[in-house]
Structure 1
Amino acid sequence: MITDPFFYAVAIPAVLITAISKGGFGGGLGLIAVPMMALVIAPQQAAAIQLPILCLMDIVGIWKFKGSVNRSLLLQLLPAAGIGIVLGALTFKYLTADHIRIIVGGISLLFALNFWFKPQNRPAKKPNKVAGSLWGALAGFTSFGIHAGGAPLNAYLLPLRLPRAEYAGTTIIFFTAINFTKLVPYTMLGQFTAETLTTSLALAVLAPIGVLMGVAIHKRIDDVWFYKVCYSFLLLMGIKLLYDAFT
Protein backbone atom coordinates (compact mmCIF):
# COMPACT_ATOMS: atom_id res chain seq x y z
CA MET A 1 0.00 0.00 0.00
CA ILE A 2 1.16 3.55 -0.68
CA THR A 3 2.43 5.05 2.59
CA ASP A 4 3.40 8.58 1.50
CA PRO A 5 1.41 11.03 3.73
CA PHE A 6 1.42 13.66 0.98
CA PHE A 7 -0.39 11.22 -1.32
CA TYR A 8 -3.23 10.83 1.19
CA ALA A 9 -3.36 14.59 1.77
CA VAL A 10 -4.25 14.84 -1.93
CA ALA A 11 -6.17 11.58 -2.40
CA ILE A 12 -8.63 11.95 0.50
CA PRO A 13 -10.16 15.26 -0.71
CA ALA A 14 -10.05 13.97 -4.30
CA VAL A 15 -12.11 10.89 -3.40
CA LEU A 16 -14.56 12.93 -1.29
CA ILE A 17 -15.10 15.48 -4.08
CA THR A 18 -15.74 12.65 -6.53
CA ALA A 19 -18.22 10.95 -4.19
CA ILE A 20 -20.14 14.15 -3.44
CA SER A 21 -20.30 14.89 -7.16
CA LYS A 22 -21.60 11.40 -7.90
CA GLY A 23 -24.20 11.65 -5.16
CA GLY A 24 -25.80 14.86 -6.37
CA PHE A 25 -24.37 16.30 -9.56
CA GLY A 26 -23.98 13.47 -12.05
CA GLY A 27 -20.34 12.75 -11.24
CA GLY A 28 -18.92 15.46 -13.50
CA LEU A 29 -16.59 17.06 -10.98
CA GLY A 30 -15.10 13.67 -10.21
CA LEU A 31 -12.72 13.91 -13.16
CA ILE A 32 -10.41 16.13 -11.10
CA ALA A 33 -9.48 13.15 -8.89
CA VAL A 34 -6.94 11.59 -11.25
CA PRO A 35 -5.19 14.92 -12.03
CA MET A 36 -5.03 15.64 -8.29
CA MET A 37 -3.51 12.25 -7.47
CA ALA A 38 -1.17 12.62 -10.45
CA LEU A 39 0.56 15.40 -8.54
CA VAL A 40 2.10 12.63 -6.42
CA ILE A 41 1.95 9.39 -8.46
CA ALA A 42 1.80 8.38 -12.13
CA PRO A 43 -1.56 9.15 -13.84
CA GLN A 44 -2.00 5.51 -14.88
CA GLN A 45 -1.61 4.34 -11.28
CA ALA A 46 -3.97 7.07 -10.07
CA ALA A 47 -6.63 5.93 -12.55
CA ALA A 48 -6.22 2.30 -11.44
CA ILE A 49 -6.58 3.25 -7.75
CA GLN A 50 -9.67 5.31 -8.48
CA LEU A 51 -11.59 2.75 -10.56
CA PRO A 52 -12.58 0.27 -7.79
CA ILE A 53 -13.57 3.22 -5.59
CA LEU A 54 -15.74 4.59 -8.41
CA CYS A 55 -17.47 1.21 -8.69
CA LEU A 56 -18.28 1.28 -4.97
CA MET A 57 -19.63 4.84 -5.28
CA ASP A 58 -21.82 3.72 -8.16
CA ILE A 59 -23.35 0.92 -6.09
CA VAL A 60 -24.26 3.38 -3.33
CA GLY A 61 -25.60 5.82 -5.93
CA ILE A 62 -27.86 3.19 -7.52
CA TRP A 63 -29.27 2.35 -4.11
CA LYS A 64 -30.16 5.99 -3.45
CA PHE A 65 -31.54 6.85 -6.92
CA LYS A 66 -33.25 3.60 -7.85
CA GLY A 67 -36.06 4.16 -10.38
CA SER A 68 -35.13 7.72 -11.42
CA VAL A 69 -33.67 6.95 -14.84
CA ASN A 70 -34.33 7.71 -18.51
CA ARG A 71 -34.15 4.32 -20.19
CA SER A 72 -34.33 5.60 -23.77
CA LEU A 73 -31.29 7.82 -23.22
CA LEU A 74 -29.35 4.93 -21.71
CA LEU A 75 -30.14 2.79 -24.75
CA GLN A 76 -28.63 5.56 -26.92
CA LEU A 77 -25.56 6.13 -24.79
CA LEU A 78 -24.39 2.80 -23.40
CA PRO A 79 -23.67 0.85 -26.62
CA ALA A 80 -21.69 3.81 -27.94
CA ALA A 81 -19.82 4.11 -24.65
CA GLY A 82 -18.80 0.47 -24.98
CA ILE A 83 -17.25 1.25 -28.35
CA GLY A 84 -15.44 4.21 -26.77
CA ILE A 85 -14.02 1.98 -24.03
CA VAL A 86 -12.71 -0.49 -26.62
CA LEU A 87 -11.04 2.37 -28.53
CA GLY A 88 -9.56 3.67 -25.28
CA ALA A 89 -8.07 0.26 -24.50
CA LEU A 90 -6.64 -0.15 -28.00
CA THR A 91 -5.04 3.31 -27.99
CA PHE A 92 -3.93 3.17 -24.35
CA LYS A 93 -0.24 2.99 -25.26
CA TYR A 94 -0.38 5.77 -27.84
CA LEU A 95 -2.44 8.59 -26.31
CA THR A 96 -1.15 10.45 -23.29
CA ALA A 97 -3.37 11.70 -20.48
CA ASP A 98 -2.71 15.25 -21.71
CA HIS A 99 -4.22 14.47 -25.13
CA ILE A 100 -7.42 13.38 -23.40
CA ARG A 101 -7.36 16.39 -21.07
CA ILE A 102 -7.24 18.77 -24.06
CA ILE A 103 -10.22 17.07 -25.75
CA VAL A 104 -12.36 16.96 -22.63
CA GLY A 105 -11.29 20.37 -21.34
CA GLY A 106 -12.11 22.09 -24.62
CA ILE A 107 -15.56 20.50 -24.79
CA SER A 108 -16.31 21.40 -21.17
CA LEU A 109 -15.26 25.02 -21.61
CA LEU A 110 -17.28 25.56 -24.80
CA PHE A 111 -20.51 24.14 -23.40
CA ALA A 112 -20.20 25.98 -20.09
CA LEU A 113 -19.54 29.33 -21.78
CA ASN A 114 -22.46 28.68 -24.14
CA PHE A 115 -24.76 28.22 -21.13
CA TRP A 116 -23.62 31.33 -19.28
CA PHE A 117 -23.54 33.74 -22.23
CA LYS A 118 -26.74 32.74 -24.03
CA PRO A 119 -30.28 33.57 -22.83
CA GLN A 120 -31.34 31.29 -19.99
CA ASN A 121 -34.96 30.93 -21.19
CA ARG A 122 -34.11 28.99 -24.35
CA PRO A 123 -36.11 25.74 -24.71
CA ALA A 124 -34.69 22.37 -23.82
CA LYS A 125 -33.24 20.34 -26.66
CA LYS A 126 -34.71 17.03 -27.71
CA PRO A 127 -32.74 13.75 -27.58
CA ASN A 128 -30.98 12.89 -30.82
CA LYS A 129 -29.77 9.35 -31.57
CA VAL A 130 -26.76 10.44 -33.63
CA ALA A 131 -25.65 13.05 -31.11
CA GLY A 132 -26.26 10.64 -28.24
CA SER A 133 -24.11 7.98 -29.89
CA LEU A 134 -21.26 10.41 -30.57
CA TRP A 135 -21.24 11.86 -27.06
CA GLY A 136 -21.64 8.41 -25.52
CA ALA A 137 -18.63 7.08 -27.45
CA LEU A 138 -16.55 10.09 -26.46
CA ALA A 139 -17.61 9.65 -22.82
CA GLY A 140 -16.54 6.00 -22.88
CA PHE A 141 -13.22 6.86 -24.53
CA THR A 142 -12.27 9.69 -22.17
CA SER A 143 -13.54 7.77 -19.16
CA PHE A 144 -11.17 4.92 -19.91
CA GLY A 145 -7.99 6.99 -19.66
CA ILE A 146 -8.56 9.38 -16.75
CA HIS A 147 -12.20 8.77 -15.71
CA ALA A 148 -13.19 11.98 -17.51
CA GLY A 149 -16.44 10.83 -19.08
CA GLY A 150 -18.56 13.30 -17.15
CA ALA A 151 -17.84 16.29 -19.39
CA PRO A 152 -18.86 14.67 -22.72
CA LEU A 153 -21.91 13.11 -21.07
CA ASN A 154 -22.96 16.44 -19.55
CA ALA A 155 -22.41 18.19 -22.87
CA TYR A 156 -25.23 16.00 -24.22
CA LEU A 157 -27.50 15.64 -21.18
CA LEU A 158 -27.52 19.12 -19.65
CA PRO A 159 -29.11 20.88 -22.68
CA LEU A 160 -31.97 18.35 -22.47
CA ARG A 161 -32.91 19.88 -19.07
CA LEU A 162 -34.04 16.60 -17.54
CA PRO A 163 -35.67 16.66 -14.09
CA ARG A 164 -32.74 16.70 -11.69
CA ALA A 165 -33.51 13.32 -10.07
CA GLU A 166 -33.82 11.74 -13.53
CA TYR A 167 -30.58 13.40 -14.65
CA ALA A 168 -28.71 12.18 -11.56
CA GLY A 169 -30.14 8.67 -11.76
CA THR A 170 -29.42 8.33 -15.49
CA THR A 171 -25.80 9.40 -15.07
CA ILE A 172 -25.33 7.04 -12.12
CA ILE A 173 -26.59 4.06 -14.14
CA PHE A 174 -24.47 5.12 -17.12
CA PHE A 175 -21.25 5.35 -15.14
CA THR A 176 -21.99 2.20 -13.16
CA ALA A 177 -22.20 0.27 -16.43
CA ILE A 178 -19.03 1.70 -17.97
CA ASN A 179 -16.97 1.64 -14.77
CA PHE A 180 -17.65 -2.06 -14.20
CA THR A 181 -16.96 -2.68 -17.90
CA LYS A 182 -13.59 -0.93 -17.55
CA LEU A 183 -12.52 -3.44 -14.90
CA VAL A 184 -11.97 -6.02 -17.65
CA PRO A 185 -9.50 -4.10 -19.88
CA TYR A 186 -7.78 -2.57 -16.83
CA THR A 187 -7.13 -6.10 -15.56
CA MET A 188 -5.95 -7.30 -18.98
CA LEU A 189 -3.56 -4.35 -19.27
CA GLY A 190 -2.02 -5.13 -15.86
CA GLN A 191 -3.21 -1.90 -14.21
CA PHE A 192 -4.22 -3.57 -10.94
CA THR A 193 -1.26 -4.38 -8.71
CA ALA A 194 -1.20 -5.36 -5.03
CA GLU A 195 -0.17 -1.80 -4.12
CA THR A 196 -2.95 -0.31 -6.23
CA LEU A 197 -5.70 -2.52 -4.81
CA THR A 198 -4.68 -2.15 -1.16
CA THR A 199 -4.54 1.64 -1.55
CA SER A 200 -8.01 1.57 -3.13
CA LEU A 201 -9.27 -0.45 -0.18
CA ALA A 202 -7.84 2.07 2.29
CA LEU A 203 -9.62 4.96 0.55
CA ALA A 204 -12.88 3.09 -0.12
CA VAL A 205 -14.40 3.98 3.26
CA LEU A 206 -14.80 7.55 1.98
CA ALA A 207 -16.97 6.49 -0.97
CA PRO A 208 -20.36 5.94 0.76
CA ILE A 209 -19.80 8.93 3.07
CA GLY A 210 -19.24 11.29 0.15
CA VAL A 211 -22.12 9.93 -1.95
CA LEU A 212 -24.59 10.36 0.91
CA MET A 213 -23.31 13.92 1.41
CA GLY A 214 -23.95 14.58 -2.29
CA VAL A 215 -27.48 13.18 -2.04
CA ALA A 216 -28.24 15.48 0.89
CA ILE A 217 -26.95 18.53 -0.99
CA HIS A 218 -28.89 17.51 -4.11
CA LYS A 219 -32.20 17.50 -2.23
CA ARG A 220 -31.69 21.05 -0.98
CA ILE A 221 -31.12 22.74 -4.35
CA ASP A 222 -33.95 23.76 -6.73
CA ASP A 223 -33.80 23.02 -10.46
CA VAL A 224 -32.53 26.48 -11.52
CA TRP A 225 -29.63 26.43 -9.10
CA PHE A 226 -28.98 22.76 -9.80
CA TYR A 227 -28.19 23.48 -13.46
CA LYS A 228 -26.21 26.60 -12.58
CA VAL A 229 -24.06 24.53 -10.23
CA CYS A 230 -23.62 21.77 -12.84
CA TYR A 231 -22.52 24.20 -15.54
CA SER A 232 -20.22 25.94 -13.07
CA PHE A 233 -18.58 22.59 -12.39
CA LEU A 234 -18.30 22.03 -16.14
CA LEU A 235 -16.54 25.39 -16.53
CA LEU A 236 -14.11 24.64 -13.70
CA MET A 237 -13.42 21.20 -15.11
CA GLY A 238 -12.58 22.63 -18.52
CA ILE A 239 -10.20 25.23 -17.11
CA LYS A 240 -8.53 22.70 -14.81
CA LEU A 241 -8.00 20.11 -17.55
CA LEU A 242 -6.63 22.59 -20.10
CA TYR A 243 -4.33 24.10 -17.49
CA ASP A 244 -2.99 20.65 -16.56
CA ALA A 245 -2.52 19.65 -20.19
CA PHE A 246 -0.60 22.74 -21.27
CA THR A 247 1.54 23.05 -18.17
Structure 2
Amino acid sequence: MLDISFVVLLIAGLITGFSKFSVGGMGLLILPIVMIAFPGPEALGILMPLYVVTDLMAVFSYRKNINWSVLWRLLPLAFLGVFVGGKLLAGLDASQFVYILGVIVIAMILLGLYLDFRPAGFMRKPIMAYGMGFLGGVVSTTANAAGPLFSLFLLEQKLDKTTYVSTRAWAFFIINLMKVPLYISLGLLSVSTAKISVMAFPGLLIGSFIGYHFLKKVNPVQFKWLVRILSCMAAFKLFLFS
Protein backbone atom coordinates (compact mmCIF):
# COMPACT_ATOMS: atom_id res chain seq x y z
CA MET A 1 0.00 0.00 0.00
CA LEU A 2 1.37 3.40 -1.01
CA ASP A 3 2.14 5.86 1.76
CA ILE A 4 -0.44 8.68 1.79
CA SER A 5 2.31 11.30 2.16
CA PHE A 6 4.03 10.12 -1.02
CA VAL A 7 0.76 10.11 -2.98
CA VAL A 8 -0.19 13.59 -1.75
CA LEU A 9 3.23 15.02 -2.60
CA LEU A 10 3.24 13.35 -6.01
CA ILE A 11 -0.13 14.94 -6.81
CA ALA A 12 1.03 18.32 -5.48
CA GLY A 13 4.14 18.15 -7.65
CA LEU A 14 2.10 17.14 -10.68
CA ILE A 15 -0.30 20.08 -10.23
CA THR A 16 2.53 22.53 -9.54
CA GLY A 17 4.42 21.60 -12.71
CA PHE A 18 1.29 21.47 -14.87
CA SER A 19 0.03 24.82 -13.61
CA LYS A 20 3.35 26.60 -14.11
CA PHE A 21 3.75 25.44 -17.71
CA SER A 22 0.16 25.52 -18.94
CA VAL A 23 -2.87 27.69 -18.23
CA GLY A 24 -2.05 28.32 -14.57
CA GLY A 25 -4.69 29.00 -11.95
CA MET A 26 -4.22 25.82 -9.94
CA GLY A 27 -2.16 27.36 -7.16
CA LEU A 28 -5.20 27.57 -4.87
CA LEU A 29 -5.42 23.77 -4.87
CA ILE A 30 -1.83 22.86 -4.07
CA LEU A 31 -1.52 23.87 -0.41
CA PRO A 32 -4.87 22.33 0.69
CA ILE A 33 -3.83 19.07 -1.00
CA VAL A 34 -0.49 18.96 0.82
CA MET A 35 -2.28 19.68 4.09
CA ILE A 36 -4.12 16.36 3.78
CA ALA A 37 -0.87 14.71 4.86
CA PHE A 38 0.86 17.66 6.52
CA PRO A 39 -1.73 19.82 8.31
CA GLY A 40 -0.57 23.20 9.55
CA PRO A 41 1.88 25.89 8.41
CA GLU A 42 4.72 23.40 7.88
CA ALA A 43 3.06 22.57 4.55
CA LEU A 44 4.27 25.98 3.32
CA GLY A 45 7.88 24.99 3.93
CA ILE A 46 7.44 21.63 2.22
CA LEU A 47 6.12 23.35 -0.90
CA MET A 48 8.75 26.07 -1.09
CA PRO A 49 11.46 24.00 -2.87
CA LEU A 50 8.89 23.04 -5.52
CA TYR A 51 8.04 26.68 -6.17
CA VAL A 52 11.69 27.72 -6.31
CA VAL A 53 12.49 24.97 -8.84
CA THR A 54 9.50 25.77 -11.07
CA ASP A 55 10.23 29.49 -10.77
CA LEU A 56 13.79 28.90 -11.96
CA MET A 57 12.47 26.90 -14.91
CA ALA A 58 9.94 29.64 -15.70
CA VAL A 59 12.34 32.59 -15.54
CA PHE A 60 14.81 30.70 -17.71
CA SER A 61 12.05 30.08 -20.25
CA TYR A 62 10.74 33.67 -20.05
CA ARG A 63 13.94 35.66 -19.61
CA LYS A 64 13.05 38.30 -22.20
CA ASN A 65 10.38 41.00 -22.52
CA ILE A 66 10.09 41.64 -18.75
CA ASN A 67 8.42 44.95 -17.91
CA TRP A 68 10.75 46.03 -15.13
CA SER A 69 8.97 49.34 -14.56
CA VAL A 70 5.81 47.44 -13.58
CA LEU A 71 7.79 45.10 -11.34
CA TRP A 72 9.56 47.96 -9.55
CA ARG A 73 6.17 49.47 -8.70
CA LEU A 74 4.84 46.14 -7.43
CA LEU A 75 7.77 44.65 -5.53
CA PRO A 76 8.82 47.16 -2.81
CA LEU A 77 5.54 46.87 -0.90
CA ALA A 78 5.39 43.15 -1.72
CA PHE A 79 8.58 42.74 0.33
CA LEU A 80 6.88 44.53 3.23
CA GLY A 81 3.87 42.24 2.76
CA VAL A 82 6.14 39.19 2.99
CA PHE A 83 7.48 40.48 6.30
CA VAL A 84 3.98 41.18 7.67
CA GLY A 85 2.80 37.78 6.46
CA GLY A 86 5.67 36.18 8.35
CA LYS A 87 4.62 37.97 11.53
CA LEU A 88 1.07 36.68 11.06
CA LEU A 89 2.30 33.11 10.55
CA ALA A 90 4.39 33.28 13.70
CA GLY A 91 1.27 34.05 15.76
CA LEU A 92 -1.00 31.33 14.32
CA ASP A 93 -1.59 27.85 15.62
CA ALA A 94 -2.47 24.99 13.24
CA SER A 95 -6.27 25.34 13.54
CA GLN A 96 -6.18 29.11 12.99
CA PHE A 97 -3.94 28.64 9.97
CA VAL A 98 -6.34 26.12 8.40
CA TYR A 99 -9.31 28.45 8.88
CA ILE A 100 -7.50 31.52 7.48
CA LEU A 101 -6.29 29.51 4.50
CA GLY A 102 -9.90 28.53 3.73
CA VAL A 103 -10.96 32.19 3.89
CA ILE A 104 -8.13 33.25 1.58
CA VAL A 105 -8.94 30.53 -0.98
CA ILE A 106 -12.61 31.60 -1.12
CA ALA A 107 -11.60 35.27 -1.36
CA MET A 108 -9.26 34.55 -4.28
CA ILE A 109 -11.99 32.59 -6.09
CA LEU A 110 -14.38 35.53 -5.68
CA LEU A 111 -11.67 37.88 -6.94
CA GLY A 112 -11.27 35.70 -10.02
CA LEU A 113 -15.01 35.88 -10.67
CA TYR A 114 -14.89 39.66 -10.33
CA LEU A 115 -12.06 39.75 -12.83
CA ASP A 116 -14.20 37.78 -15.29
CA PHE A 117 -17.27 39.99 -15.20
CA ARG A 118 -16.21 43.50 -14.20
CA PRO A 119 -13.62 45.90 -15.67
CA ALA A 120 -10.81 46.81 -13.31
CA GLY A 121 -9.34 49.91 -14.94
CA PHE A 122 -8.62 51.39 -11.53
CA MET A 123 -5.72 48.92 -11.32
CA ARG A 124 -3.75 51.18 -13.65
CA LYS A 125 -3.54 53.89 -10.98
CA PRO A 126 -0.01 54.06 -9.54
CA ILE A 127 -1.15 53.70 -5.93
CA MET A 128 -2.79 50.35 -6.74
CA ALA A 129 0.62 48.86 -7.53
CA TYR A 130 1.68 49.48 -3.95
CA GLY A 131 -1.56 48.15 -2.47
CA MET A 132 -1.63 45.04 -4.61
CA GLY A 133 2.07 44.46 -4.01
CA PHE A 134 1.61 44.59 -0.23
CA LEU A 135 -1.52 42.42 -0.22
CA GLY A 136 0.08 39.98 -2.66
CA GLY A 137 3.13 39.66 -0.39
CA VAL A 138 0.94 38.89 2.64
CA VAL A 139 -1.24 36.36 0.80
CA SER A 140 1.74 34.69 -0.89
CA THR A 141 3.54 34.26 2.43
CA THR A 142 0.57 32.98 4.42
CA ALA A 143 -1.19 30.87 1.78
CA ASN A 144 0.84 30.70 -1.47
CA ALA A 145 -2.31 32.02 -3.16
CA ALA A 146 -1.40 35.42 -4.59
CA GLY A 147 -1.83 34.36 -8.22
CA PRO A 148 -5.29 35.97 -8.71
CA LEU A 149 -4.09 39.22 -7.13
CA PHE A 150 -1.06 39.58 -9.36
CA SER A 151 -3.05 38.49 -12.41
CA LEU A 152 -5.67 41.14 -11.68
CA PHE A 153 -3.00 43.82 -11.47
CA LEU A 154 -0.83 42.72 -14.40
CA LEU A 155 -3.72 42.10 -16.81
CA GLU A 156 -4.80 45.71 -16.40
CA GLN A 157 -1.35 47.05 -17.33
CA LYS A 158 -2.12 46.36 -21.00
CA LEU A 159 0.93 44.15 -21.48
CA ASP A 160 1.21 41.88 -24.49
CA LYS A 161 0.95 38.14 -23.79
CA THR A 162 4.69 37.44 -23.74
CA THR A 163 5.45 40.42 -21.50
CA TYR A 164 2.62 39.49 -19.15
CA VAL A 165 3.84 35.89 -18.74
CA SER A 166 7.49 36.97 -18.32
CA THR A 167 6.73 39.74 -15.83
CA ARG A 168 4.45 37.48 -13.79
CA ALA A 169 7.07 34.70 -13.71
CA TRP A 170 9.75 37.07 -12.45
CA ALA A 171 7.44 38.60 -9.84
CA PHE A 172 6.78 35.20 -8.29
CA PHE A 173 10.44 34.19 -8.56
CA ILE A 174 11.67 37.27 -6.67
CA ILE A 175 8.95 37.09 -4.00
CA ASN A 176 9.47 33.38 -3.39
CA LEU A 177 13.21 33.95 -2.96
CA MET A 178 12.38 36.58 -0.33
CA LYS A 179 10.22 34.03 1.49
CA VAL A 180 12.99 31.41 1.78
CA PRO A 181 14.98 33.03 4.66
CA LEU A 182 11.70 33.99 6.36
CA TYR A 183 10.43 30.40 6.33
CA ILE A 184 13.80 29.20 7.60
CA SER A 185 13.65 31.65 10.50
CA LEU A 186 10.12 30.48 11.36
CA GLY A 187 11.20 26.84 11.31
CA LEU A 188 8.90 26.03 8.37
CA LEU A 189 11.73 25.30 5.96
CA SER A 190 14.54 23.02 7.07
CA VAL A 191 16.65 20.10 5.96
CA SER A 192 13.92 17.69 7.10
CA THR A 193 11.15 19.48 5.16
CA ALA A 194 13.41 19.70 2.10
CA LYS A 195 13.86 15.91 2.23
CA ILE A 196 10.07 15.55 2.27
CA SER A 197 9.81 17.92 -0.71
CA VAL A 198 12.05 15.64 -2.78
CA MET A 199 9.22 13.08 -2.93
CA ALA A 200 7.21 15.55 -5.03
CA PHE A 201 9.88 16.05 -7.70
CA PRO A 202 8.87 13.12 -9.96
CA GLY A 203 5.34 14.56 -10.12
CA LEU A 204 6.78 18.02 -10.72
CA LEU A 205 8.74 16.88 -13.78
CA ILE A 206 5.82 14.89 -15.19
CA GLY A 207 3.40 17.78 -14.62
CA SER A 208 5.76 20.25 -16.29
CA PHE A 209 6.12 17.99 -19.33
CA ILE A 210 2.35 17.48 -19.64
CA GLY A 211 1.59 21.16 -19.14
CA TYR A 212 4.13 22.28 -21.73
CA HIS A 213 3.06 19.84 -24.45
CA PHE A 214 -0.71 19.87 -23.90
CA LEU A 215 -1.25 23.60 -23.36
CA LYS A 216 -2.88 24.10 -26.77
CA LYS A 217 -5.28 21.21 -26.19
CA VAL A 218 -6.69 22.57 -22.93
CA ASN A 219 -9.91 24.60 -23.04
CA PRO A 220 -8.95 27.50 -20.73
CA VAL A 221 -12.51 28.49 -19.84
CA GLN A 222 -13.68 24.99 -18.93
CA PHE A 223 -10.42 24.30 -17.12
CA LYS A 224 -10.70 27.52 -15.10
CA TRP A 225 -14.18 26.62 -13.86
CA LEU A 226 -13.06 23.09 -12.98
CA VAL A 227 -10.23 24.53 -10.88
CA ARG A 228 -12.64 26.93 -9.14
CA ILE A 229 -15.02 24.11 -8.24
CA LEU A 230 -12.18 21.96 -6.90
CA SER A 231 -10.76 24.94 -4.99
CA CYS A 232 -14.15 25.60 -3.38
CA MET A 233 -14.35 21.96 -2.32
CA ALA A 234 -10.85 22.21 -0.85
CA ALA A 235 -11.77 25.41 1.03
CA PHE A 236 -14.92 23.89 2.53
CA LYS A 237 -12.90 20.85 3.60
CA LEU A 238 -10.52 23.23 5.40
CA PHE A 239 -13.44 24.88 7.19
CA LEU A 240 -14.75 21.49 8.34
CA PHE A 241 -11.42 20.63 9.94
CA SER A 242 -10.56 24.09 11.36
CA shift for structure 1 position 76: 1.6
CA distance in 2, matches of 1:244, 1:113: 24
Of 10, 13, 17, the match for 1:12: 10
Distance 1:75 1:242, change over 3 A: same
Measured in 1, the distance between the counterparts of 2:122 and 2:21 equals 25
Q: How does 1:219-234 map to 2 (within 5 A)?
A: 220=216, 228=221, 232=225
Is residue 37–residue 43 contact of structure 1 (8 Å, CA) maintained in 2? no
Indicate conservation of the 8 Å contact 2:115/2:152, yes or no.
Answer: no
TM-score if structure 2 supplies the norm length? Answer: 0.82
Alpha-carbon distance, 1:185 to partner: 0.8
Q: Contact conserved, 1:11 with 1:33, CA < 8 A, in 2? A: no
- The AA in structure 1 aligned to 2:12 is A
**AA matched with 2:170:** I
Post-superposition offset of 1:158: 3.4
Superposed CA RMSD in Å reads 3.0
1:155 equivalenced with 2:156 (yes/no): no
SS in 2 for 1:15: helix
Q: Contact (CA 8 Å) 1:105, 1:240: kept in 2 or not?
A: no
In the alignment, the residues of structure 2 paired with residue 128 and residue 214 of structure 1 have an alpha-carbon distance, to the nearest angstrom, of 34
**Alignment partner, residue 111 of structure 1:** 112
Which one of the candidate residues 38, 52, 69 is aligned to 1:72? Answer: 69
Q: Distance in 2 between matches of 1:147 and 1:123?
A: 23
Q: Is the 8 A contact 1:34 1:146 kept in 2?
A: yes
Residues matched between the structures, number: 236
Following TM superposition, by how much is the alpha carbon of 1:160 offset from its aligned partner in structure 2, in angstroms?
4.4
Cα deviation for residue 113 of structure 1 reads: 4.7
The residue matched to 1:152 in structure 2 has which SS? helix
Find out whether 1:239 has 2:237 as its counterpart. no
User: Any stretches of 5+ residues in structure 1 without a counterpart?
Assistant: none
- Partner in structure 2 of residue 102 of structure 1: 103
Output the CA distance in 2 between the equivalents of 1:40 and 1:192.
17
SS across alignment from 1:38: helix
Select the residue among 30, 50, 60 that pairs with 2:47.
50
Aligned to 2:80: 83
Once the two structures are TM-superposed, the CA of residue 79 in structure 1 deviates from its matched residue by 1.1
Q: Secondary structure at the match of 1:42?
A: coil
Asked whether the 8 Å contact 2:13–2:202 carries over to 1, the reply is no
The answer on 1:36 being equivalent to 2:33 is yes
Residues 192 and 113 of structure 1, relative CA distance in 2, 3 Å threshold: closer
Q: Does 1:215 align with 2:208?
A: no
Quote how far apart the aligned CAs of 1:13 are. Answer: 1.6
1:166 is aligned to 163
Deviations 1:73-93 (A, max 9, x none): 211211121011000111213
Shift of 1:54: 0.7
